[in-house]
Chain A
């Protein structure tokens, strides 16, 4: 999905806690991509057996759809939609 020049592109922050397993980040990123979102920023911190991942995402589909798909992942413990979600103008 190629973003349109100067078209409004909703932006969201998503915080996710998941188990530290072999393909944890790939699994998360694969779902984000196939469900129609692009990762603008990603920060990962290890916390014991878990990873805490903070994502800034861009995409035009409903973010709740992505949230429910991420919650289905067996190794995802929690997905929280951040307060910083907004609509911003995407420049080419």
Chain B
């Protein structure tokens, strides 16, 4: 077998049946080997960025390894945004690129780029193969590395001649046994029992550790008031009475208030990102903090923990649940207080009763949340619509909410939805996007059509870059700069050009019929939703300010809101 065939052998060993890629000169030996392979489905996207983001969406929705493939030079550089996206959100991904033949590396050969050098900052690890015989072992190591500990993308760059070279047979290393020792939780339990106002703060680490079930059990049995980060949405479940929703820059008043007043913060699988904490000096000022995470480098990175615990969240959460089972926490007053805050400061948005009124983002998302099946996967893009989904869609599982949290990649949603649909051909997958984000990877409509994926597309169109416009209005004296998109193409006609049917709505009384129509349609369909250009996401915390200084619509015109960002 040659190097290319060994790559496919590694896919077979690890049950990798779906990969996303785009061929080209230096990766052609692998594409030649794919011709004879019936066990690996290769999904041809229309841009390498689409390949990487689809692999990312596949991994997020399934919990499996996402795989993307491209050629050297522009193929590799086009992958970079998608790989950076996976890196920032710790998504398990294997990236394989062809490189110019070994003897031509460093000669400025056609389609040569220093892939290893230019990707160092966006991978968990990377390899440049210099000996074909090392390829099988490196494939094993790379797949293990991408999925273990804190997951992330691992990139293997392979010169074309080594893809063609015969590889000597050699035994593969045995997988290392998993350490199964739960850390000592005595001190954590003592702190929980002493606290009068403990708060559960969870993030994307819960689903990265595949600890969704033990987390849910712990959250329900402990009855701790809970806040979530953007990537933690869905962790507590939609029916948990103590779920206060997302905290942070666009978080609920209830969540930020609870963080402000709690006396113990139990942080699980979260990295205290600036969008969540706001100005660190003012974050949870009265609280001690227990930080539980798989990554030691996150402990004490931004805020010192009073107690840090590193380990597998599955073991830790199960042990915490057991320890609290017979003697529940006595926090009735605090629970009641948090419920009161949620009633008055949650993400409530009244439905507009006026049928001819223009559609508002929050009202549309709330209707979508009520109508779509419980196990619907929503793949968001980035901007105002992303925050309206985070605020108003009620998710029951973190893997149902695919969002670009760390990198904030416009253009993520459509290819991510493609990946999610390949992860489960029978699930309902909806890409909720904005008019700016949609145009970033609209070429992937062709991928949806080619594979007849029943992905639903909802384009919330305000004819501008709404989140940038909002911050220019609030923090830059309303000086609009390069945000106008009122020359967008006709999205309905555009979808139809890809042979995807589409529908346009603009009034409140059209929302229900629009959503029901696309969900009932047996195949892909696009819903073009016109919304107001002037609408903002509320509340908002000015970047760099404390979460206490939330701005809501009633304070929109005050002078204090219009200070320029320093």
Residues of chain A at the chain B interface (Cβ within 8 Å): 21-23, 26-27, 30, 34, 62, 64-65, 68-69, 71-75
Question: Which residues 402-456 of B sit at the A interface, judged by CB distance below 8 A?
Answer: none
What residues on B are CB-neighbors of A72 within 8 Å?
295-297
**A22-B116, A22-B130, A23-B116 are known contacts. Are A71 and B124 too (CB-CB below 8 A)?**
no
Q: A34: which of B121, B126, B295 is its contact (CB, 8 Å)? A: B121
| Residue B498 at the chain A interface, CB threshold 8 Å | no
Q: Measured between alpha carbons, how far is A71 from B145 in the docked complex, in Å?
A: 15
A-B pairs, 6 with minimum CB distance? A68-B297, A74-B125, A22-B128, A30-B120, A23-B116, A69-B297
CB distance from A79 to the nearest CB of B (A): 12
CB distance from B34 to the nearest CB of A (A): 27
- Chain A, Cβ-Cβ closest to B296: A68
| Contact assessment for A23 and B301 in the assembled complex, using a CB-CB cutoff below 8 Å | no
Q: A27: which of B120, B130, B297 is its contact (CB, 8 Å)? A: B120
- Chain A, Cβ-Cβ closest to B130: A22
- Chain A, Cβ-Cβ closest to B149: A72
Q: Measured between alpha carbons, how far is A64 from B299 in the docked complex, in Å?
A: 11
What residues on B are CB-neighbors of A75 within 8 Å?
125
Question: Which residues 125-145 of B sit at the A interface, judged by CB distance below 8 A?
Answer: 125-128, 130, 145
**A72-B295, A74-B145 are known contacts. Are A26 and B120 too (CB-CB below 8 A)?**
yes
- Chain A, Cβ-Cβ closest to B125: A74
| Residue B488 at the chain A interface, CB threshold 8 Å | no
**A27-B120, A30-B121, A68-B296 are known contacts. Are A22 and B127 too (CB-CB below 8 A)?**
yes
Q: Measured between alpha carbons, how far is A59 from B31 in the docked complex, in Å?
A: 48
Beyond A65-B300, A68-B296, A74-B125, 7 extra complex contacts between A and B, CB < 8 Å? A22-B127, A22-B128, A62-B300, A68-B301, A69-B297, A74-B124, A75-B125
Q: Measured between alpha carbons, how far is A34 from B87 in the docked complex, in Å?
A: 15
What residues on B are CB-neighbors of A27 within 8 Å?
120
| Residue B103 at the chain A interface, CB threshold 8 Å | no
| Residue B117 at the chain A interface, CB threshold 8 Å | yes
What residues on A are CB-neighbors of B300 within 8 Å?
62, 64-65
| Contact assessment for B297 and A71 in the assembled complex, using a CB-CB cutoff below 8 Å | yes
Q: A23: which of B126, B145, B299 is its contact (CB, 8 Å)? A: B126
Q: Measured between alpha carbons, how far is A74 from B512 in the docked complex, in Å?
A: 51
CB distance from A56 to the nearest CB of B (A): 22
Interface centre among A34, A62, A72 (most CB of B within 10 A): A72
Binary contact track B94-136/A, C-beta < 8 Å → 1, others 0: 0000000000000000000000110011001111101000000
What residues on A are CB-neighbors of B301 within 8 Å?
65, 68
CB distance from A44 to the nearest CB of B (A): 18
| Contact assessment for A23 and B117 in the assembled complex, using a CB-CB cutoff below 8 Å | yes
CB distance from A60 to the nearest CB of B (A): 15
**A68-B296, A71-B296 are known contacts. Are A26 and B124 too (CB-CB below 8 A)?**
no
**A65-B301, A74-B125 are known contacts. Are A23 and B120 too (CB-CB below 8 A)?**
yes
Q: Measured between alpha carbons, how far is A23 from B210 in the docked complex, in Å?
A: 32
CB distance from B5 to the nearest CB of A (A): 24
- Chain A, Cβ-Cβ closest to B141: A74
CB distance from B387 to the nearest CB of A (A): 28
What residues on A are CB-neighbors of B145 within 8 Å?
74
CB distance from B234 to the nearest CB of A (A): 27
